[in-house]
Structure 1
Amino acid sequence: GRAPAARGRKLAAASGEGAGGGESASPRTAAADSSDGASGGDGATSEGEARRRAARDDAREALRSSSEYVWRMPSERIEALVGKARGDDDEDDGPSASATINEGKADPTGSLSIGAFNSWASMPVDTQPDFFSARADREAERAAERAAREAERAEIEAAAIAAKEELRRRSDAEYADLKSTLDRGALVCAGGGAAYLFLAYGPDAAASYGVGAALGIAYWGELVREVDALDGQNSPPPEPAPAQAGLPERAAWAVRRLRGAFQRGLLQRRILLPAAVAPVWALWNAVEPGEVHLGLPLLWVGFFAYKIGIVYWAYTEEVAPTWAGAERGGGIDFKRLGYSAWIALGVVAFYLAFGPDSQGP
């Protein structure tokens, strides 16, 4: 870069000496010559700097586009490099700065080539490196696991629904069998008791027992219908009762119990049947005072005749297997039996012991 500038200065000096014999060179001409020489030197310097910059850019591009960086490059960049290597791009962008795939190394001739780029880099991005293959395998495994879990959950739910339906069917069959057994027991106790009293004590006792038994069977039918109307699902928990203002905790508990008993028992339609026993007795005796006389104790005994069937069923279920040795049980279930059965038996015993016809017909 310095030789052209030196030659320019020598040429300017020689022209100045030649002009000294005649007329001296003008300062403008000398300045122009010197400026031409300087501009020529600067042009040569900038051209060399451009070559070095282009070489650095080519080396940087070669390193950036080597095989270990290809999978990080965007698809647009890969397509552009492939197009330049194949000559698809007709535009002349000046010095080529395309990269090579040969681990960032240039060819022995000094030019950059695409190397093995066309062999695999033009394939779809998802199948180029092992990274994408491993990720696809993981996604496939997760999808298979999710599908297996969903299938297992569906199978378990189907089995649970089938077991629930089978249990419901068996429970309904057992409940229907129990209802038929208790209904037969109530009818047998009502009819058998009325027939026995008619033969033993006459028509008055039989009529009293029969009317009471009819009211009791009607009460039993209403109770069964109420039970059938209940939902088989688990009932929701009761809402918390509001605190009673001005009452201690024990008194508030008693008030809540009385209110619940009143709402569950006294406000039912079946309660009208036991309440009608005394009015029926009084009305019957007032209308027909001379022929058949109804006795109030026998009316109540007949009303609780359906309980005798319940007592017999509880005996056959709890006591008889224990005494027979078929299975070891805990005796009579008093909660299942209820206090009303013992009340009915007590009323029967009281009437037989102290009734008006206790000495015989």
Structure 2
Amino acid sequence: MPGAAAGQRVATRSRRAGGLVLGIVLLAVACALSLAVGTKQIPLDQVWTALFEPSGTKNDAIVRELRLPRTLIGVAAGAALGLAGAVMQTLTRNPLADPGLLGVNAGASAAVVTAISLLGVESFNGYLWFALAGAAVAAVLVNALGGSRAATPVRLALAGTAVNAALFGYVNGLQLVDLGALDTMRHWTVGTLAGRDAGLLWRVVPLIAGGTLLAFCLARPLGALSLGDDSARALGAAPGRTRVLSIVAITLLCGSATAVCGPIGFVGLMIPHAVRPFTGPDPRWLLPYCALYAPALMLGSDIVGRVVVPPSEIEVGIVTAFLGGLLFIQLVRRRRVAQL
């Protein structure tokens, strides 16, 4: 029996390691297609030439100036949202937790729209900090309304739905009142990777990197906390400190991603559920998987949006909302979720 258990552990580790390799391959394929696919199809060999041996052709300009920044932003924002969703689901022990469903993205959106419409902030450097502050306030508010330490998955979901509705109603109201700012905000509030330059990415990379590092450092305490506060203390984790640091990580990740791309929902919901059959509940495996598979989903959704209705595009936020809505319906129909 001990030998069988040891063999099962080895098989589990091998399966998990293989899943990480598969995630790297899928992400690499998604990046390559993101650089090659669009209104103008560019062969992969020409994409390679544009990246490493540019000669000033039109294809070089398309790849380097338009698609490369879009791809890199998609990778960074996708990883941030996937990690935030995994941390949030583990922290709350709520399988429906998601930065979008629990109001974090809505808080960032409301703060950015306020900065643009009411305060006249036009630069990215200006409204980035509003996005972070709005995400933090929304996270704390939903947690408080849901009962804080006594929160249940249903109460958190209801609190998040209420905060989402209120904040997005506020956003829509501001757009109707300030018609001058409507054109500036309308693409941003849908959630898009289009029209973003590399300068935006480099401004948020330190924040996303900080949130990512903090999330990985919290993997072991989060795993202990998922067993309950008493068990976490027995295992040497500090529940209060873990919760606070987790909210900080979620705020950094969601606020940065939302500031660059706008509110993109359901990525943080879909990916943890998709990879958990391979990783199990252990955050030490769940987080690396999400950091690989979430950007692959983000880029895949963006590619789908480019090719469905050419020469126009469907914004990535619409594609992820459609896919996530289908998954959400499936989740709430499951008996174990319905009974929470």
TM-score, normalised relative to structure 1:
0.24
Between 1 and 2, higher relative CO (CA 8 Å, sep ≥ 6) is seen in 2
Give the structure with higher Rg (CA): 1
Query: Which structure has the highest helix share of the two?
Result: 2
